[in-house]
Amino acid sequence: MTPGRCSRMLRAAVFAAVCVLLAALGHVMMAGDEPSRWALAGGVVGAAGVGWCLTGRERGVPLVTTGALGAQAALHTAFSLAPSTAAGHDMGAMGPSETSGGMVVAHLLTALLCGLWLAYGERAVFRLLRAVAGWLAAPLRRPSDRPLPPVPPCVRGIRGGADQPPRTLLLAHAITSRGPPARAAAA
């Protein structure tokens, strides 16, 4: 299914919003200060551009997760290099090579979460769109174009020949006699 321009724009915007918001939230929680507004705006524009390139067709989980990982790495670098808006903190002096291991783990987990969330959400939306398109297009089909119901298979019994009677010895174990036991149950 090839998406239209409006669908691509919407999917790119969702990709950018999810990536930037989760990256900013993780950055605030790990670093203790918020990134500047221009860093957030630049992150949204950059992530939307990556999202626009990825939304040309339906993508799988590995590619969406890899795109989210790349976006998280770029957002981490942008947030670390940008001057902080909080007074008393100087995150602008801390370069990407001086970041803590917790920050890297937070961005990796965020990228994994973003990738899985976006990939499975995209799959569900495309499945829903296909179902709605099939439902709306069904009345427009000609009766001759509709698929025929499947023919049920012909079930035939396997017998050696018509003149042979069925074997009764095979059914001897299935015979049950009803009634009281032949001997007393309790002595």
End-to-end CA distance of the chain: 78
What pTM does this model have? Answer: 0.57
Query: Which domain range does residue 58 map to?
Result: 5-140
pLDDT at 147 over 50: yes
Contact 45, 93 (CB under 8 A): no
With cut-offs at 50, 70 and 90, classify the pLDDT of residue 159: low
Least Cα distance to 49 among 78, 12, 75 occurs for: 12
Is 177 contained in some domain?
Answer: no
On whether residue 88 sits in a domain, the answer given is: yes
C-beta separation of 19 from 47 below 8 A: yes
Residue 64 has pLDDT above 50, yes or no: yes
pLDDT for 115: 83
% of the chain with per-residue pLDDT over 90? 1
**How many domains is the chain partitioned into structurally?**
1
Give the mean pLDDT of 23-44: 83
Measuring CA to CA, which residue among 51, 41, 102 is closest to residue 75?
41
Inside any domain, residue 168: no
Q: What is the pLDDT of residue 96?
A: 47
Determine the average pLDDT of the residues in 60-82: 82
Task: Identify whether 154 is part of a domain.
Answer: no
Q: Does residue 41 lie within any of the structural domains?
A: yes
Residue 169 confidence (pLDDT): 62
- Report if residue 9 sits inside a domain: yes
